[in-house]
Amino acid sequence: MNKILTFFIIMLVIFSFDYLILVWTNSLTLNISYLDYLRNGLMGDWGPTLRYEDKTVIEALFANWQTTIILLLSSFFISNIIATLLALFIATKWGKVLDFPINITTYILVCTPVIISAPIMIHQFIFSWNWGDLQAYTFPIIVLTLSICSLYFKYLRLGLLESLDKSFIAAAYAKGLSSTRILIHYALRDGLGTFLSIIPSTLVQLFSMVIAVEYIFDLPGMGRFAIQSALNRDYPVVLGMINITVILTYIMTLLVEFLQIKLVPKLRMKHVF
């Protein structure tokens, strides 16, 4: 109940901002009062776009939702899997030869924004070496995965190293359990805390990366449409995109809170929900 009320208040605030901006920029095509606008907004009617007379904001934005969702979800899940496997592998080799180069690589990848790595990919792999296709999902997903995967890997590695030092791990070893079982069932689950808490913020980060990547690879999606609308001064669409980002962030935060309680045992004792 508490969460729903918060959500309601957030929506009221963003729609009020939207209304103000639309009034300032003279973009309110319909003569609509503030209260009507709030009610319509909450009901999911965000008004017509300026460029397409016969389309509403939601219709125009969600016309190409598939591209954005595929990029977002597949890069998210693939990077999760790779990061987890890599972190588990490194945990056993801590301080050895392999640890250093992998660490350095991930640092470089974290520091490289997609607006740099994506054009390099296009010119080197697609144009010069003729691998793959421009208007396909392969390279955009690789670009996104590389950048977000290294971030996840860093947090997972940190969590794992911290929990491997703890006394219950020593106890598990003393019991004679196999090291794989200890790593996955004890250390990983204990070390997930920090990693899970950064997921909502990284997802929003990923969403903005998807927008950039769509524009660079010229993929028809919500992101490219939003950028084009910004260039066209189509304020209702731009505001709609911001609203969607806000809603996405809120829902992700809720989901992760729920997941944390389910996955991390020590949080289960404190009644967050």
Partner 1 sequence: MNNMKYMIKPLLFVILIFSFNLLKGNENQSQILTIPIFEDVPTFDPHKSNSFASISVWMNIFSTLLEEDVHGNIIHNLASKYEISADKLVYTFYLKKNLKWSDGLDITADDIVFSWFRAIEPQTKNPMISELYFIKNAKEYHLGLKSIKKEDVGIQKIDSHTVKITLSNPSPYFLIRFASFVYTILPKHTIEKYGKYWTKLENIVTYGPYTLTKHRTDAKIVLTSFKAYWNAQRINIPQVKYLVLKNNQYYDYLFKKGKIDILDSIPQNKILDWINRKETKIVNNFFVSHLSFNLKKPYFQNILLRKALSCTIHLKKSIILEKYLYKLGRIAKGVVPPGLPYYPYKDYMNECSSKSIKEDFKKAISELSMPLPPFSLVFVSHPELIDFFQIIQDVWMETLGVKSVLVPLSWNSMLAKLVKGEHDLTIMSPAASIFDPIDFLDWYITNEPRNFLGLKDPEYDRLFDEAQKEFDLKNRMIKMAKVEDIINRNFYLIPLFNNQQMYRLNPKLKMVNHNNQLIEPTPDKLGHLSARWINWAFEK
Least distance CB 107 / partner 1 (angstroms)? 27
Q: Which amino acid would we find at residue 125?
A: F
Q: Residue from 11, 28, 70, 198 that binds partner 1 (CB under 8 A)?
A: 70
Binding mask 34-53 for partner 1 (x = CB under 8 A): ----------------xxxx
Q: Take residue 138 and report the two structure tokens written for it.
A: 């392969």
Site membership for partner 1, residue 208 (CB under 8 A)? no
How far is Cα 165 from Cα 175, in angstroms, rounded to an integer? 16
* Comparison of 3 and 123: residue with beta carbon closer to partner 1: 123
* Comparison of 73 and 111: residue with beta carbon closer to partner 1: 73
* Comparison of 138 and 194: residue with beta carbon closer to partner 1: 138
Interacting positions 76-105 with partner 1 (CB under 8 A): 77-78, 81
* Comparison of 38 and 263: residue with beta carbon closer to partner 1: 263
* Comparison of 37 and 217: residue with beta carbon closer to partner 1: 217
Angle at 101 between CA 99 and CA 106, to 5 degrees: 95
* Comparison of 7 and 137: residue with beta carbon closer to partner 1: 137
Handedness of CA 83, 85, 91, 94 (dihedral sign): negative
Least distance CB 12 / partner 1 (angstroms)? 29
Q: Residue from 135, 175, 176, 270 that binds partner 1 (CB under 8 A)?
A: 135
Site membership for partner 1, residue 262 (CB under 8 A)? yes
Q: Which residue, among 171, 154, 151, 152, has the nearest Cα to 162 in the 3D structure?
A: 154
Least distance CB 103 / partner 1 (angstroms)? 27
Interacting positions 217-256 with partner 1 (CB under 8 A): 218, 220, 224-225, 228, 231-233
Q: Residue from 15, 37, 195, 215 that binds partner 1 (CB under 8 A)?
A: 215
Interacting positions 146-205 with partner 1 (CB under 8 A): none
Least distance CB 4 / partner 1 (angstroms)? 25
Span between the terminal Cα atoms of the chain, in Å? 10
- The residues that touch partner 1, with contacts defined as CB under 8 A, are 50-55, 59-60, 63-64, 70, 73-74, 77-78, 81, 126-127, 133-138, 141, 215, 218, 220, 224-225, 228, 231-233, 262-263
